[in-house]
Structure 1
Amino acid sequence: MTDALFSHFKSQLQRFLTPNEMITSYSKRYAYGTDASFYRLVPKLILALKNKDQVQHVLILANKYNVPLTFRAAGTSLSGQAITDSVLITLTSDWQQADISNSGNKIRLQPGIIGAKANQLLLPYNKKIGPDPASIDSCKIGGIAANNASGMCCGVKQNSYHTLADMTIIFADGTELNTSDKNSCHSFIINKPELINTINQLLNTVKDNTQLSALIRNKYRYKNTCGYGINSLLDFEHPIDVIKHLMIGSEGTLGFIADITFNTVDDYHNKVTGFYIFDDVTLACNLVSQLAKLEIAAIELLDVRSLRSVADRALLQTCLQKNKISHLHENAAALLIEIHAPDSNALDQIQQKAQVLMSQFNSSIIAQVEFTKDHLICSELWQIRKATFPAVGAVRKTGTTVVIEDVTFPTEHLGSGVQALQGLFKKYQYDEAIIFGHALDGNLHFVFTQSFNEQKQIDRYSKFMQDVSHLVAIQFKGSLKAEHGTGRNMAPFVALEWGSDAYQLMQQIKHAFDPNNILNPDVLISDNANIHLENLKTLPTTDNIIDKCIECGFCESVCPSNGFTLTPRQRISVWRRIIELENILAIEPNNNSIKRELDNLKQDYQYLAIDTCAATGLCGLKCPVGINTGEFIKSLRAEKLSTNRLAKHLSKFTADHLNLAVSTSKLGLSAISIANKLASELAIKNSFKLLNKISGKRIPLYYPAWPKGAKAITKTKQQFSSNSIKQVIYIPSCGGRTFAQDKNAEDQRALFEVVSSIFKKAGFEILIPKNINDLCCGMPWASKGDQNTANNTAHALISSIYPLTNNGKTPIIMDASPCTLALDNYSFDNMPIKTFEVTDFIDKFILKHLKITPQLAPITLHISCSSKRQNIEHSIINLAQACANEVLIPSDINCCGFAGDKGFFLPQLNENALRPLEPQLKQCKTGKITEGYSNSRTCEIGLTKATNIPYQSIVYLLDRVSSTFDNY
């Protein structure tokens, strides 16, 4: 591709794509170019496409001008199949359509839907999609299909290939094929004779070559994603069937999957799980071969190093008892076994058969957690298994990356394969390497840490991969890729595994589908024998908070700025580049190109990464190694604050004069409310835009969802009036003290009045401290990076109210979930306290004292990110479901993006986070939703703005539908 051709291509795109759909900024291209692999390429151009018409037009132009394209879904791929230095095509949030048919037996999905969302939609039908990759909460359907991802219980029979019903494909020349439409198929056969003829020739080639047929048949007895899915040439006879199955696992090299229809599988709820540690991995693998004859859902193997990596797990320690993990033999291994069945009788029968087989190996079993139906124990066993990968990432040396590969051994050679891999680890001194995987399918993952900062380290990796390839493909006749896709990491070794005849088939397939080689070149098959050693990521030391990041992307699905500016992964990736460039400049101070790149990234980073981060901390919940990128961003805010004397002074002044600040805000809000009746909304909005600009963004932007100032708190007191044990200290939040209810809300009482009413009904005495207007949890300052003021403010609050708590025995409640979370982050010397978010306290201690008559009208519920971080979301859900017969909890809303007061100054973040919300409000069965609830006043303001529905604290609904028991 020449620069001239690329320029023509780009100018043609501008005729039908908006500037927002064509991402040219270097900072964004660098950030968005990041995926979960250990490769780095920066796209020349990123296209954010919203429908298949756009994809068609782009492909037609790319084919015309010979411009390479790469498709990207969630970017959780591990083998380098989702990066490019040409044009990267990403999907906007528009690709979310899902249609369920045939009583849940089929589901048609667009490629932008996250895998877990598909299963959530199928839950009422007791169905799920077959593939169950570990990244299912983050990866998208397009990537699942394009990589033929499988997982722990999926096996071979339930992967994308075997559960595929139909798909809509857009080919390299822009041709569209909908395999579920007879007219589309007929038209395609007529208009694409060359491709159809090639497929027919390939069918005959395989049919006539018995040795090749036998090879293909044998290779796909187990998981295999190495190369193209040429088993379709054996499994099907019609070219259309072959074409759609070749698309599975093709990694975007044959065409674009615009939608896919899966045959769903049963989601059995009758399950038992057991965990058994063997003193001999070979014997454990022999048992796997025996159990494979039964209807076993999953068998996960963990070698001894895997067990040691998760030695801190309480259940594992209990399981081993006297046999400490450190004392385990180097040949030890564990099996995690799970059985599913449609009913309890079938489950018991399979379990009994399994135990008979296992009894033959009793002498080798040195510790166990016997088969159990206990949900908590089963969950903890799976957490042990899932913790192995992040455990390696958490202890890796700074500057190294985590490499995870997956191979398949024939199950009869599984034990020997494990030992052979362990021998290679010793040979190349990968002392931290572990092996685990889906033993039922002969599929093993091995994880090790690797630096690519020095040539000798790259050479070590190269030699290791050569030996691994020969070991798996030649010695054991296994597969070099089981479920992670071939990518560029294994592309040079596909011919080694398959041999010349099969490899030629794959080359012919690629040429027939993509004659100009524009679709993801050098991925899956490549003529470059060193493609796996080029463009390797370097991970410089940057900051203790983020250095353990492996850039997997699990964090992105919950980030409110995803699709607006940067995600946590992208913030870390760009910051690493900034540090890397600074290190280069320290050695080469006159390197002008490095200077320009550094200046560009630094300038953009302030807005893209720092200003627009909500710092919710949800990323830390999703991160395999627990990285809270928000804490890192707050540390950068703190650095900037430390150099700004005026900002520091204003921050401290606000904390020292909190009552004045809140009163002034209330007065301003009420004044604006009055002005809104006298002047046009547009005039007020424009006035605030001007004030925001003049003040350096210190004065917020206006929008109609602004409430007026809240009513002043009354009924404060300094001590309880009785000695009742049913007493609580109530700290009304700053948000509740500042903002009144939405003007369209039916109940206009102040929040503190509603909380007081509920507790009175339940027979609890509430104490609101007299100096409440001077108290705050400190969260507003912590979010801006002023941790010192935040600590002082929080400490002042606890010091002030601790004397009222009877030495910490009286519980403290707060009416906003962020405030409770803020106090949870502090420790107070000699002042043991217990704070409750109000809905959590009500669920645990109040609800049982109230008579509730649930309302018929449906409601919508927003679960705040701070509730999720405290693991109390179940409380607000219980409360809502007790109060209303139908409760809609919208999916894909992880955080409202209001982020304290950020929604007043940066409403775009709030708007971006709540994009999927309004369309879902039409999904209720019992009527139109006219009221929404949450448990954070500022979140509720943002939710109201997004929907034009008044949102309030859930306590308003509870107070409305509850009463005191007659005999109370």
Structure 2
Amino acid sequence: MMMSTQISIFTAAVAQILKPQGIITEYSKRYAYGTDASFYQLTPQLVLIVSNLSQLIQIVKLANSYQVAITFRAAGTSLSGQAVTDSVLIMLSDDWVEFQIHEQGHKITLQPGIIGAKANEILKPFGRKIGPDPASINSCKIGGIAANNSSGMCCGVLQNSYHTVADMTIIFADGTELNTACEQSCGSFLSTHQSLIEQLLELSASLNNNTELKQKVIQKYRLKNTTGYGINALIDFSDPIEMIKHLMIGSEGTLGFIADISLHTVEDNPFKSTGFFIFSSTKLACQLIEQLADLDVNALELLDKGALMSVAEHDIMPKAIAEFPVDSVALLIEIQESSLQLLNDKVLSVTQKIQSFDHALLAQIAFDSDALRNQALWNIRKGTFPAVGAMRDPGTTVIIEDVAFPLASLATGIVELHKLFQQYGYQEAIIFGHALAGNLHFVFTQAFDTAEKIQRYDAFMVAVANLVAVQLSGSLKAEHGTGRNMAPFVELEWGADAYQIMKALKEVFDPLNILNPGVIINDDDKAHIRDLKIMPVTHDIIDKCIECGFCESVCPSQGFTYTPRQRISVRRRIEHLKHTISESEASPAAKDSLAVLKDQYHQLQHDYQFLGIDSCAATGLCEMQCPVGINTGDFIKALRKEDHQRSAVKKQLANVSAKHLSTVTKIASLGLSAVSKGKALVGESSVTKGFQFLNKYSAGFVPLYFSSWPKGEGKLKTGFYPSSNPRLRQNSQDNKVIYFPACAGRVFAPPSGGVANSLSQVVVSVLNKAGFDVVIPFESPSLCCGMAFSSKGDEKNATEKLSQTHGVFIDYSENGKYPIITDASACALSLKQGEHGLKIYESAEFVSDFILPHLQVSSKKDHVLLHVTCSSKRGNIEQQLVNIANHCAHKVEIPADISCCGFAGDKGFYQPELNQHALRHLKKQRPDDCIVGYSNNRSCEIGLTRHSEIPYQSILYLLDEVSKPLPNLISEVKNTV
């Protein structure tokens, strides 16, 4: 896409405000930012990364002056196309995360870049939370939550952003700033914007004087409603500042930018009880819902028969779901209270209501407060959307629509929607939703690769709009925002009078139509079927991706190169371009457009190597966030495998390393020690420059040097290390462990700073103290978990090394009789793969579960800094690591917003920029009294040491330092390693 002349001029002006890295013009990055969670795709001509309010105000003023359209984006998890543009996209840097707590947590001020779940973490010590609770709360940001008036499962209507907003700072289309919490700012705005205020009050009077319309507005906002602008603000308030403040909620960035927002918080009740009930009749279940709405139930989720079938395999689900009537529905009910007595009273009342519908009850899982069981129940509800996504045909996308009905019409709405599914051929569609608010989501799959499929979708949406908005007086968008998706139907839902008021509001606040044009107000009655996202079949691993963006918040390369969503989106574009170019070359027409497509294809292909492949840490954290379970790291490793197979040099080097691993690690260790001595002789600057030269002229084979390179570790001492602990040696055969020191601990010595013992010595010391005999296999120096090879795409050597290691483990453990531990979380994750009958533990996992009861902590540390590795999270041993830290210290500090260190095995040596980016927030979060950090992966600790500027080491060093055998054990155990 060529940049327009006007935007080129605008870009030149912006260059006086932003640094070059904040101005993105390269096609490969612009295309990547053209994707949000909706099924629309627009490539911005320019992407700006804004770091502070001053920059944003200046840019908005320039956009107003040059009449350039701008669109603001938070996390891009929006579902209705409100966060994409073909003009200028404005993103926030990660500097917009300031917050301030007021009134003991009863109010909080948040900048728009804070993730919703983070806000709740901040409020947790006060027993409070923000009102909105969207399903995307772990990924979406406060700016998007407010701009879309997002709600959720427990939020209902009264706890959404509209009803909990206290104040905000707004930047208007002309660049004016209004802080509604500041009397002076309000006074100045009222003085300088008299015309805007007068027009706003006239619109308010017009609405209030139209008795029929006023009543309609009041009635419709008893439901969840995010269709169009929140014109209830013109009725609910007489003060123009209050009107403006509330009009901004749900305005999707079309009336102004919310620079910060203060919200009244709500109580986070500690006592909860959940039950699951399946009824034979939709009508009867909906009658029960109306009655339960009067009992202040906190959450009531409805699932239709199709939704139940999609999650029928969950262990906790009642059996024989398939045999239930087609009209059956389930209700998942949660009750919350501030005390156990209040909870029990309410559970009793709700249970009595349910029992009055006992004749329609097919199955039930009664109310209970068991947290694990109830999480399993919620996993049923949360699994419905992913189930449809995972089962859809390749090349299709998942569409989730979002409507609300008056409770009296809920049953009719469900029945009629099912009829439309059948009529238009969406047999796979399912319905679930927040029943107390009459809010239903229906999910179906759709391809947009032919005119016929697009026409079918169009006809279906027209029918849905008439059913919901006209026949049943509901909301076409209850909580997902209008966006492009529903903009053509706003007038249909609201009528001409209300729509004219909405159009007038847009004109009042944004007369030049520069703020997110085409969203909410759009005169194109086919806007909902334009710029549709193409989802070509690309690769088995990623074809199920719905591009929701849930993965992005945990990706270490977010903001540096591509995120998992962007890696997938761009790869799809490459695939689509390849086929389009091939088809176009068969026809001599459109040569100019073909040249543009070829340029785009070659640019994406070239840039993808670094942006997509080389800079991916392949941690797999994205899989944990993904609703359809995609590990984008596995996809990247598949691409690396293709590259590895094409390169004879890479294959030869890998084969030599695998065959002679003991020698390679020994040479590496000696080399590290030699570098350390060389630094002392010639200085760090000379060593750094020397390695930069070698890295460049070895085509990246030689790593880059940095100051926190450790020394090389000494020779590993293998053999048998018995405990002299008499208490447990009475039955010594039950207290033997096989210990496999991982490669990193064998190569890298601990960080400087007074630590003398090697990691293997410390592990043996801790185990011996607790009475365990330790065996370090003689073959250990030549063994490997295989991850070092698989991460580079070398599956052959990875599989062989893993198999060799498992074979040795089987011999030493006597076919799994004795447990095997390793001292690196990443290696443990790899070693646990496959069916091998072995009991394999990561060292922190084993220590937490089996060692701590046999040790006494003599003196806890006051305050320690802990990094939880991505492999600990993926291996589900995060809690064990934290448990050891809590056992050894009074206070454990886990820095926020660092999901992965980005060192990624050895990538931190070759691409240290990724590690630096991932840990950019670490040093400023380091408490002054924390002089050592702890983790459980040696390579990660190297990067953590560099960017925190304090040494990081294994958590077992901490435990070894502060622990001793229990009083009735031998007080001191000699370290025999």
TM-score range, shorter chain: over 0.9
Q: How does 1:165-204 map to 2 (within 5 A)?
A: 165-204=166-205
Equivalent position to 2:571, from 552, 572, 575: 575
**Alpha-carbon contact 2:69-2:513 (below 8 Å) kept:** yes
Provide the residue aligned with 1:25 in structure 2. 26
Aligned partner of 1:297: which letter?
Answer: N
SS of corresponding position for 2:272: strand
- Compute the displacement of 1:720 (Å): 11
Provide the residue aligned with 1:449 in structure 2. 445
Aligned partner of 1:710: which letter?
Answer: E
- Compute the displacement of 1:711 (Å): 2.0
Give per-residue Cα distances to partners, 1:910-947, cap 9 Å, x unaligned: 1111122222223xxxx621110000000000001111
Q: Distance in 2 between matches of 1:678 and 1:857?
A: 39
The reply on whether 1:732 has 2:733 as its aligned counterpart is no
- Compute the displacement of 1:136 (Å): 0.3
Give per-residue Cα distances to partners, 1:258-294, cap 9 Å, x unaligned: 1111101000011110100000011001100000001
Identity of aligned residues (%): 53
Q: Distance in 2 between matches of 1:470 and 1:808?
A: 65
Q: Distance in 2 between matches of 1:417 and 1:374?
A: 34
SS of corresponding position for 1:478: coil
The reply on whether 1:145 has 2:146 as its aligned counterpart is yes
SS of corresponding position for 1:167: strand
**Alpha-carbon contact 1:854-1:882 (below 8 Å) kept:** no
Aligned partner of 2:741: which letter?
Answer: P
Q: Distance in 1 between matches of 2:854 and 2:631?
A: 39
Of stretches 343-352 and 397-406 in structure 1, the one that deviates more from structure 2 is 343-352
Give per-residue Cα distances to partners, 1:101-156, cap 9 Å, x unaligned: 11011111111111000000111000000000000000000000000000000000
Equivalent position to 1:915, from 902, 913, 920: 920
Q: Distance in 2 between matches of 1:234 and 1:748?
A: 72
Equivalent position to 2:826, from 810, 818, 821: 818
Provide the residue aligned with 2:398 in structure 1. 402
Residue segments in structure 2 that go unaligned for 5+ positions in a row: 586-590, 970-977
Q: Distance in 2 between matches of 1:748 and 1:906?
A: 30
Equivalent position to 2:862, from 857, 861, 870: 857
Q: Distance in 2 between matches of 1:462 and 1:853?
A: 71
Provide the residue aligned with 2:588 in structure 1. none
The reply on whether 1:682 has 2:647 as its aligned counterpart is no
Q: How does 1:76-91 map to 2 (within 5 A)?
A: 76-91=77-92
Residue segments in structure 1 that go unaligned for 5+ positions in a row: none
**Alpha-carbon contact 2:718-2:777 (below 8 Å) kept:** no
Aligned partner of 1:613: which letter?
Answer: C
Q: Distance in 1 between matches of 2:758 and 2:321?
A: 57
SS of corresponding position for 1:724: helix
- Compute the displacement of 1:719 (Å): 11
Aligned partner of 2:792: which letter?
Answer: K
Give per-residue Cα distances to partners, 1:884-923, cap 9 Å, x unaligned: 001001111110000000000101101111122222223x
Provide the residue aligned with 1:900 in structure 2. 905
**Alpha-carbon contact 1:720-1:767 (below 8 Å) kept:** no
The reply on whether 1:700 has 2:703 as its aligned counterpart is yes
Aligned partner of 1:889: which letter?
Answer: I
Q: Distance in 2 between matches of 1:592 and 1:487?
A: 33
Equivalent position to 2:526, from 527, 530, 552: 530
Q: How does 1:470-481 map to 2 (within 5 A)?
A: 470-481=466-477
Q: Distance in 2 between matches of 1:191 and 1:690?
A: 60
Aligned partner of 1:495: which letter?
Answer: E
Q: How does 1:592-631 map to 2 (within 5 A)?
A: 592-631=595-634
Aligned partner of 2:533: which letter?
Answer: K
Aligned partner of 1:594: which letter?
Answer: L
SS of corresponding position for 1:933: strand
**Alpha-carbon contact 1:867-1:873 (below 8 Å) kept:** yes
Q: How does 1:504-543 map to 2 (within 5 A)?
A: 504-543=500-539
Aligned partner of 2:747: which letter?
Answer: T
Q: How does 1:664-813 map to 2 (within 5 A)?
A: 664-717=667-720, 724-744=733-753, 746-813=754-821
**Alpha-carbon contact 2:721-2:764 (below 8 Å) kept:** no
Q: Distance in 1 between matches of 2:704 and 2:835?
A: 36
Provide the residue aligned with 1:242 in structure 2. 243
**Alpha-carbon contact 2:809-2:820 (below 8 Å) kept:** no
Equivalent position to 2:351, from 351, 355, 366: 355
**Alpha-carbon contact 2:483-2:519 (below 8 Å) kept:** yes
Matched residue pairs, number? 955
Provide the residue aligned with 2:974 in structure 1. none
Give per-residue Cα distances to partners, 1:634-680, cap 9 Å, x unaligned: 00000011010011000110011111111111111111111121222
Provide the residue aligned with 1:842 in structure 2. 847
**Alpha-carbon contact 1:740-1:748 (below 8 Å) kept:** no
Equivalent position to 1:659, from 640, 659, 662: 662
**Alpha-carbon contact 1:762-1:964 (below 8 Å) kept:** yes
Provide the residue aligned with 1:290 in structure 2. 291
Q: Distance in 2 between matches of 1:932 and 1:328?
A: 56
Equivalent position to 1:871, from 872, 876, 879: 876
SS of corresponding position for 2:862: coil
SS of corresponding position for 1:67: coil
**Alpha-carbon contact 2:723-2:771 (below 8 Å) kept:** no
Q: Distance in 2 between matches of 1:815 and 1:718?
A: 17
> If the length of structure 2 is used for normalisation, what is the TM-score?
0.97
Equivalent position to 1:890, from 855, 875, 895: 895
- Compute the displacement of 1:350 (Å): 1.4
Equivalent position to 2:480, from 459, 468, 484: 484
- Compute the displacement of 1:816 (Å): 0.2
- Compute the displacement of 1:584 (Å): 1.4
Q: How does 1:362-441 map to 2 (within 5 A)?
A: 362-441=358-437
Aligned partner of 1:633: which letter?
Answer: I
Aligned partner of 1:191: which letter?
Answer: T
- Compute the displacement of 1:2 (Å): 9.7
Q: Distance in 2 between matches of 1:875 and 1:594?
A: 52
Q: Distance in 1 between matches of 2:346 and 2:809?
A: 59
Provide the residue aligned with 1:97 in structure 2. 98
Provide the residue aligned with 2:972 in structure 1. none
Aligned partner of 1:847: which letter?
Answer: L
- Compute the displacement of 1:342 (Å): 1.1
Give per-residue Cα distances to partners, 1:448-490, cap 9 Å, x unaligned: 0001001000000000000000000010001100000000000
Provide the residue aligned with 2:333 in structure 1. 337
Provide the residue aligned with 1:119 in structure 2. 120
**Alpha-carbon contact 1:408-1:479 (below 8 Å) kept:** yes
Provide the residue aligned with 1:960 in structure 2. 961
Give per-residue Cα distances to partners, 1:589-632, cap 9 Å, x unaligned: 37332221111100000000000000000001110010000000
Q: Distance in 2 between matches of 1:239 and 1:769?
A: 76
Provide the residue aligned with 1:57 in structure 2. 58
Q: Distance in 2 between matches of 1:112 and 1:423?
A: 42
Q: Against the structure 1 CA distance between its residues 304 and 759, is the aligned structure 2 distance closer, same or farther, given a 3 Å change threshold? A: same
- Compute the displacement of 1:46 (Å): 0.1
SS of corresponding position for 2:273: strand
Aligned partner of 1:626: which letter?
Answer: G
